[in-house]
A and B are shown apart, each in its own frame.
Chain A
Amino acid sequence: MALHDRSYKRWHGDRSLPVTTIPIIAAAGIRAATTAFFKRKIPAVLLTLMSFSMFLFGMVFIFLRYYVQTNMEVLPEEFVEGILGEEVTTFTSASGLTIFFYLANLQVVFAGLACLLMGSGQIANDRRTNALEMYLSRPVTAWHYVVGKFGAVGFFVALVTVFPAVMLVVAQLLVSFGDANEVARLLDLAWRTVAAGAVLAAVPTLLMLTASSLAQKARNAAILWFGFLFLTDVVIAQSLIDAFGDDRFLLFSIAFNIRQVMAWFLQPPVEYLGDIAPDVLAGVPVAWSALALGALVAVCLVILLRRVRPVEVVG
């Protein structure tokens, strides 16, 4: 005798309820990428710790400064001087400069790794296993699919960029109550951080999804993504600048355009910017960089919507 009733049963639920497939696709993408990432546990844990190390350092320092400021009388003078000294403060309090430095110089590596490790297989694996046919024969459009996958990859990139950066601002905000000017400055910085982080997260994510849609293996998508960034940044932009001596060829560099737009949002002081991002001081209007990124996004979307099809139509 069978343990379970194996007969086919009808479902009597409500089919008229709206279908929200985007978060379902995004959640499935996050789960699949996380499972694959943690298959190799030790490297995965080490990489995760590394990606949050500077964030943890920043948090510790913000609260340490607060502790020192509120207990100056009982602490040794050298220690107070060391923690509150001007040079240290410049780079460890939440400001446009520190957030720019944190995102564009420190976390950009982890943003790239998140794209490579979590994003390269998102569409490529679906193409290899013909899952697109399974998606698009349900109440899922190509737009839903692309936005859902963007949400999955964007989640990981944002997790190592926007999220910690915003948390640094929030931590600073927590220890700044009572100073109205400081609170106003930090609230202004908060939205600028989200905007700059969104640019850093969105453009490489969309580029990775496009590469993934052009491949049937995650490895090939990763090579394509990295190759495209290398080609535009080093080969094309740098070669043209060297050949013609004109900084405007930086527009071909996706990395430069992202940094340029992020700097516009975060407005770091120019005297420090030269030390951490000299290319951003080149004579290229920020509007041009924004336009270049907009064009890149448009091309990516066109390619994605052409590639995300249930049937390969050969003319």
Chain B
Amino acid sequence: MVAAVDTGPLIDLQGLEVRYGKRVALDQLTATVPGGSIGLLGPNGAGKSTLIKTLLGLIPIHGGRAKLLGRDVQREARVLRRSIGYMPEREAAFPGMTGFQATWYAGRLSGLPDADARRRAHEVLLFAGLEEERYRDVGTYSTGMRQRVKLAQALVHDPDLIFLDEPTNGLDPQGRSEMLALIGTLTRDRGIHVVLSTHLLKDVEEVCDAVVVVNGGRIVRNERIEELTRAFADARWIQLDGDMQAFVAALGERGLEVIERKGAHCEVRLRVEGETAPGFEAAAATGSVVRALRPVRLSLEEALIDVLGGEAA
């Protein structure tokens, strides 16, 4: 495993404000996001793509400042873009070029010398899984191949950070799985920071360590996934071997609340955080055995609904 490039915080936002005309798209964002693989989440129109495009220097900033890899995104945009890869959400291709030509051209535009751009274009196209197809016109590619060539173009100049906007859009399950594996390789084995914007929470769970949740142009959560999904510090999930009904009754006698019960599993709220002894006593009293006991975690989807629901309220 290779450590990600250390440049301090990956993203540093101080009162960042972006407007489209009179409409505020990003509202006074202040956040420090460490490196690694970050999932950018939020409902449609929350400001995810606007945030990515602002960080790429494609959209002007109306207030505050934003730094990426320690550099100001407006004043040092050209320098910064040599270290950043971007895979846009919508279809985007240099017209009339083959996969190889388009990737080589992307490398040249990013500052690679001609020979390096050619070698890198072949390397990243092979990495992305386009072998013979690299000599075909991109216009004849399937959706999956277009996503792959976009990934290759984003990687050709070997960026330190790559923005992926809905990279699994339109892919079949196998294609999606392969794309996530490629992204996982980049972040886990090659130390490239990844910012993954997607609606598919499974993708984020599979690839990312942390999430930034955007809603209504504001960042409402910026934390590691395990922190976001650790919903109840005082709750435990129990797998029981024995009479569940009697066990539940015994828990009640000891002042423990059963939150949810499903077959041989139940979720129990403890009286005091960390005090699990009454649970074992209840099992012993009913002649049951506790096979497993662990903290209750929400799925990312439940956590996100919780976060966004709370925001809406």
Binding site for B on A (CB under 8 A): 4-11, 13, 15, 17, 19, 21, 24-25, 28, 32, 35-36, 121, 125-126, 128-131, 133-141, 310-311, 313-315
Contacts and interface: CB of A to CB of B under 8 A. Distances in A.
Contacts of B190: 8, 10
B112 A11 contact: yes
B56 A35 contact: no
Interface of B: 20-22, 53, 56, 58-59, 78-79, 81-84, 86, 88, 90-97, 105-106, 108-113, 116, 120, 123-124, 126-127, 129, 131, 153, 155, 157-158, 185-186, 189-190
A307 to B, nearest CB: 15
Nearest to A27: B108
A135 B124 CA distance: 19
B21 A138 contact: no
Contacts of A135: 109
Nearest to A2: B126
Contacts of A134: 88, 92-94, 106, 153
Contacts of A11: 112, 116, 120, 157-158
Contact of A8 (B20, B90, B105, B127): B127
B124 A139 contact: no
B96 A36 contact: yes
Nearest to B86: A137
Given A8-B185, A311-B59, A139 B91 contact: no
B76 to A, nearest CB: 11
Contacts of B91: 129-130
B126 A6 contact: yes
Given A6-B127, A125-B95, A126-B95, A13 B113 contact: yes
Contacts of A141: 78
Given A11-B116, A134-B153, 10 more contacts: A6-B127, A10-B190, A11-B112, A15-B83, A19-B111, A126-B94, A129-B92, A129-B95, A310-B58, A313-B20
A10 B120 CA distance: 9
Contacts of A7: 127, 185
Contacts, number: 114
Closest 5 CB pairs of A and B: A315-B21, A11-B158, A130-B92, A19-B111, A125-B95
A50 B98 CA distance: 32
Contacts of A137: 56, 58, 81, 84, 86, 88
Contacts of A8: 123-124, 127, 155, 185-186, 189-190
A24 B109 contact: yes
B261 to A, nearest CB: 47
Contacts of A133: 58, 88, 90, 92
B24 to A, nearest CB: 13
Contacts of B58: 133, 136-137, 310-311
7 contacts: A8-B189, A19-B82, A24-B109, A130-B91, A137-B58, A139-B81, A314-B21
Contacts of B127: 6-8
Given A134-B106, A310-B53, A311-B59, A4 B111 contact: no
Contact of A32 (B53, B86, B95, B155): B95
A131 B86 CA distance: 13
A311 B165 CA distance: 14
Contacts of A5: 126
Contacts of A314: 20-21
Contacts of B20: 313-315
A8 to B, nearest CB: 5
